[in-house]
Structure 1
Amino acid sequence: MIDSTDKKILDLLQSDATLSVQQIAETIHLTVSPCWRRIQNLEAKGIIEKRVALLNRAQLDLGIDVFVFVRAKAHNEAWLEQFSAAVDSLPEVCEAYRMSGEVDYLLRVVVKDIQAYDRFYKRLVNRVELADVSSSFAMERMKYTTKLPLE
C-alpha cells in the first residue's frame, strides 16, 4: 500500500519526471533522504515502472491518430501469438487492447498522414490474417494525459 506522501511524490513525478529529489522533498515538506528512500521503494515495488520523455508530435510531423478496430480471423493461441508479434513489430502502434464486444482488438496508431496509414495497414494485413479491419481518424484530440488519477 502507498500512503498520501507517496501519492504526492507520484503526482509530482507524473507531471515532471525531471524534478530532482530535493525539489520533490521541498514541495512535499520532507527531507531529502526519506524522500529519496520513498522514490527508491516505489521503483523497487514496480509502482514507478520507468521515466520517459513525452515528445511534441507536431514538431515530429506525426499529427494523426487512427483508431483501428480489428476482428480476429481465429480465436486460438497461435493466431494470438502471430497478431501480438505483428503489433509489437509495428512502431506506429502506440496502444493495443483486447476488447469485449463486437470488436476483438483496438489499436491506436500514430502516423504522419493518410498515405502513411495506408502503408501501415498493408504491413499489418500482410503479417497476420484478419477477419475485418476498420479505421477511424481522430479529427481533434480533446484530452490527452499520461497522468493516472491517484485519488
Structure 2
Amino acid sequence: MDDIDRRILKVLQTNADLPVAEVAEQVGLSASPCWRRIQKLEAEGIIERRVALLNPEKMNVGVTVFVAIRTSRHDEDWLRDFAAKVTQIPEVVELYRMSGEIDYMLRIVVPDIKAYDAVYKRLIAAVPLFDVSSSFAMEAIKYTTALPVDYAT
C-alpha cells in the first residue's frame, strides 16, 4: 500500500458514494488507474463493504448505552452461546471481548430508557451473567467510522 492508496481510502471513508472520477481528482490520478486501485483494495479485503450511515436521531435511536458485562464463565461453549444470542439483538450495535476487569463491552442504541430496559431484560435472559453495568452517554464529542490510514502497510 502506498500513499495514493491511503489517500483513496481517506476519501472513500468520507464519502464512498463519490464517482470514481471525483475520487481520482482528489488523489491526483486519472479515473482508470484510480478505479483499478479501488478494485484491488476491495479484492484484498481492505475495503470490506460500502454502507450508508444513518442519523441516530432521525432513526429514533438517539440514546447510546455502554454496557459492561462480567461473567463467571469463561469457557468456549458459554462464549459461543453468548455471542450468538447477543448479536441477534438489533439494538446491540457493537460487542467486544475485553481484557481486564470487564469481560465484554456492548454499545446499544435505543430511543429511551424504557426501551433500554426491554433490551436489558432480553440480555439477562439470554445467558447467565455475573454483573451488568450500564452507562448512558450524555454527549457524543467525537464519533467516526473512519479508521486512521497512516498505519496501513
- Residue number in structure 2 paired with 1:145: 144
Distance 1:30 1:69 in 2: 46
Number of aligned pairs? 150
TM-score (norm 1): 0.97
Question: Is there any run of 5+ residues in structure 2 with no aligned partner, and where?
Answer: none
Say which SS state the counterpart of residue 84 (structure 2) adopts: helix
Q: CA deviation at 1:86?
A: 1.4
Q: CA deviation at 1:37?
A: 0.4
- Residue number in structure 2 paired with 1:125: 124
TM-score (norm 2): 0.96
2:73 maps to 1:80? no
User: CA offsets, 1:48-91, max 9 Å, x none?
Assistant: 00000010111111111100010113110110011101111101
Q: CA deviation at 1:150?
A: 1.4
Q: For 1:1-150, list aligned pairs within 5 A.
A: 2-150=1-149
Distance 1:29 1:109 in 2: 40
Say which SS state the counterpart of residue 89 (structure 1) adopts: coil
Question: Is there any run of 5+ residues in structure 1 with no aligned partner, and where?
Answer: none
Say which SS state the counterpart of residue 148 (structure 2) adopts: coil
Distance 1:28 1:77 in 2: 46
What is the root-mean-square deviation in Å for CA atoms of aligned residues? Answer: 0.8
Q: CA deviation at 1:28?
A: 1.5
- Following TM superposition, the consecutive aligned residue runs of length 4 or more in structure 1 with deviations greater than 6 angstroms are none
